[in-house]
Chain A
Amino acid sequence: MNPYLAGWRLGFLRTIRSPGDMSVRIGFFAIILVVMTALWTAAVDANGGSLQGYTRTSLLWYVFAAQTAVLGVRPRSVEEIGDEIGSGTVAVQMLRPVSVVGLRMSIDMGEACARLIASFTVGALITWLFVGAPPSLPALGLAAPAVVLGCAANIASCHAFGGIAFWLLDAKASWFFFQKLVFLPGGMLIPLELLPRPLELISFALPFATMAYVPGRIASGHPDPLLLLWQLGWLVALLAMAGAVFAAGERRLQVMGG
């Protein structure tokens, strides 16, 4: 079997087999949805029923999809990559005849898919219960692959960021900043259209918007295939970046020692 597929399968099965962990994450997700519903309902009501074109319903389906995409990624992933580089675990992994970063990302993607299946279904049910049907069922359907792509882009950039540890020996700082970049210019906390214009434009120029904003936008009733293309474009670029960072880092390890 293709080693990357095997890695994906490993990540997937491993996650399916820890129901305790899964239920905590789903509980966490449910709490976020409750709070977000309360927040944005009040926000939309205070503004005559619509904010930059988002109604209460479309806004909450946005939140659902954006949060699902981000919660698929294991938290502290960047930090773990940094720790494993710093501790020399990666050096050992380099002895295997596969791409270290490729294998890692496959495993992470497997885990993400397992998580996403649970979060997407449960989250959609809860959101439906709170605010009713999505603005467009086809849009919800298209949001599913968008969520997966957004998650994949997230994982790829975690590796690009975490790879800084090859040079800095500690990726703790990068995890923090990275997470914030996904939260704000990524559109997880607030739809980009609601940001002041200059910030909105900057956010659209950055890759983080493909990780949360795009799935959210699609789910809120805008099944625009161009959005998926945008995600795909950034995904390829981020994969290349992650590959390049790890290749450079591995060369450095070989030259400088662990």
Chain B
Amino acid sequence: MTAVAATLRTAVANGLANRNSFWFQVSLMVANDITWIIFWVLFFHQVGNLRGWDAHDVIVLFSILLTTAGVALGLCANSRKIGQLSADGALDETLTLPVPPLAHLLSTRVDAANTGDLLLGPVVFLLAGNPSPERAAMFLFGVVAGSVVLIGFLVACGSLTLFVGGRGEQADLGFNAILIFASYPLDLFGGATKMLLFTAVPAAFVTGVPARLVRNFDTPEVLLMVAVAALFALIGWGTFHLGLRHYSSGSIWIR
């Protein structure tokens, strides 16, 4: 475990090495996020209420999304890159070290821009989320569990590249799908789509259920989140390790 923690610390140091560049990227991301908040404000200004959701609710949802994405894409920036790294033969350096490969990969890169999300998310929650100790606790829990689900999902999508080849296009699609769906209130979707969001594309567990938990603490839902997080962690870990057997390193010219 110390090796992984040391790696993460080094990755942060590497990302922060150029202070100016780091803060510049963070501010770009923050500006980007604020645009979305403006959109929602304008939207609800016109539309009013949306199946029980108002601007305030959606902004809380958004703060959860930001923080969770910040962890998955900012701190563990390689979670979304597994497909590309596999195709490029870039797993070599990890595989020559005496470390658990997935843990190492996930701790070895920190993305400055997405770290901006990680910083802004809690701020938005504090400002717009009526933070009480219970709500804050659920926010934290939701973010942690949601991050595990998101990372597990992204790793699984990326690991498919090890099996089917290509350059990680399926991973990109999965990535876009889950983030787009997670940006909108769950209650907008009905029937088949909603089913999808609770299963194959677990956007519901990235923002939907955590947002519900922030509104109302509910033990069964907490346990459900824990179970789903464990499940996706296992799916991600499993697909990756099974995929390693098919890893072809730098031989992409063959494909």
Residues of A within 8 A of B (CB): 20-21, 23-24, 27-28, 31-32, 34-35, 38-39, 42-43, 46-47, 51-52, 172-173, 176-177, 180, 183-184, 189-190, 194-196, 199
Stretch of B60-68, B174-182, B219-227 lying at the A interface: B174-182
Residues from chain A with Cβ under 8 Å of B47 in the complex: 43, 46-47, 51
Contacts A24-B169, A180-B32 given; indicate if A31 touches B177 (C-beta within 8 A).
yes
Across the interface, B188 reaches (CB within 8 A) one of A32, A39, A177, namely: A39
A179 (CB) vs chain B CBs: closest residue? B32
CA distance A73 to B234 in the complex (A): 38
Cross-chain contact A195 with B176 (CB below 8 angstroms): no
Query: What are 24 A-B contacts with C-beta separation under 8 Å?
Result: A20-B169, A23-B169, A24-B173, A27-B177, A28-B176, A31-B177, A35-B184, A38-B189, A38-B190, A42-B50, A42-B187, A43-B50, A46-B48, A46-B49, A46-B50, A46-B51, A51-B47, A173-B24, A183-B39, A184-B42, A190-B39, A190-B42, A195-B46, A199-B42
| Docked-complex contact B42 and A31, CB < 8 angstroms | no
CA distance A180 to B190 in the complex (A): 30
Please measure, in the bound complex, the distance between the C-alpha atom of A27 and the C-alpha atom of B174, giving whole angstroms: 10
* Cβ contact within 8 Å between B188 and A173: no
B241 interface residue (CB < 8 Å to A):
no
Contact A189 B39 (CB under 8 A): yes
- Do B172 and A24 touch across chains, with their CB atoms under 8 A apart? yes
A195 contact set on B, CB distance < 8 A: 42, 46
Chain A residues, Cβ within 8 Å of B181: 31, 35
The CA of A86 and the CA of B188, in the complex, are separated in Å by 45
CA–CA, A35 and B178, complex, Å: 11
Question: Is B123's CB within 8 Å of the partner chain A?
Answer: no
Using an 8 Å CB-CB cutoff, how does the interface string of B102-146 with A read, 1 for contact, 0 for none? 000000000000000000000000000000000000000000000
Closest CB in chain B relative to A32 CB, distance in Å = 7
Complex CA–CA separation, A37 to B172 (angstroms)? 22
What's the dominant secondary structure at chain A's contact region?
helix
Cβ contacts under 8 Å, A176 to chain B: 28, 31-32
Provide the B160-195 mask, 1 if CB < 8 A to any CB of A, else 0: 000000110100110011001100100111100100
The residues of A that contact B35 with a CB separation of less than 8 Å are 180, 183-184
CA distance A20 to B188 in the complex (A): 31
Count of A-B contacts judged by CB separation below 8 Å: 79
Asked whether A194 and B46 contact (CB < 8 A) given A31-B180, A173-B28, A180-B35, the answer is yes
B184 touches A39 (CB 8 A): yes
A28 to B51: give the CA distance in the assembly, Å.
26
Whole-angstrom distance between the alpha carbons of A194 and B41 in the complex? Answer: 12
CA gap between A173 and B28 in the complex, in Å: 7
Pick the contact of A196: B45, B49, B172, B189 (CB < 8 A): B45
- Beyond A43-B47, A194-B46, A195-B42, whether A177 also contacts B31 by CB under 8 A is yes
Pair A42/B42 contact, Cβ less than 8 Å:
no
- A-B pairs, top 7 by smallest CB distance, nearest first, are A38-B188, A43-B47, A194-B46, A180-B35, A24-B169, A27-B173, A176-B28
| Known A20-B166, A177-B31; contact A190-B180, beta-carbon cutoff 8 A | no
Smallest CB-CB separation from B32: which chain A residue? Answer: A176
Complex Cα distance, B173 from A158, in Å, reads 25
Which of chain A's residues have a CB closer than 8 A to the CB of B38? Answer: 184
Which residue on chain B has the smallest CB distance to residue A170?
A: B24
In the complex, which residues of chain B have a beta carbon less than 8 angstroms from the beta carbon of A177? Answer: 31
Given A172-B25, A190-B43, A190-B46: 19 more A-B contacts, CB < 8 Å: A20-B169, A28-B176, A31-B181, A34-B193, A38-B188, A42-B51, A42-B188, A43-B47, A46-B47, A46-B49, A46-B51, A52-B46, A173-B24, A177-B31, A183-B39, A189-B39, A194-B43, A194-B46, A196-B45
Q: How long is the Cα–Cα vector from A42 to B51 in the complex, in angstroms?
A: 7
Q: Can you name the residue of chain A whose Cβ is closest to the Cβ of B49?
A: A46
Bound-complex Cα distance A38 to B176 (A):
17
Complex CA gap A52/B46 in Å reads 9
Chain A residues closer than 8 Å to B48, beta-carbon distance: 46-47
Kindly name the residue among A24, A42, A194 whose own CB sees the greatest number of chain B CB atoms within 10 A.
Answer: A42
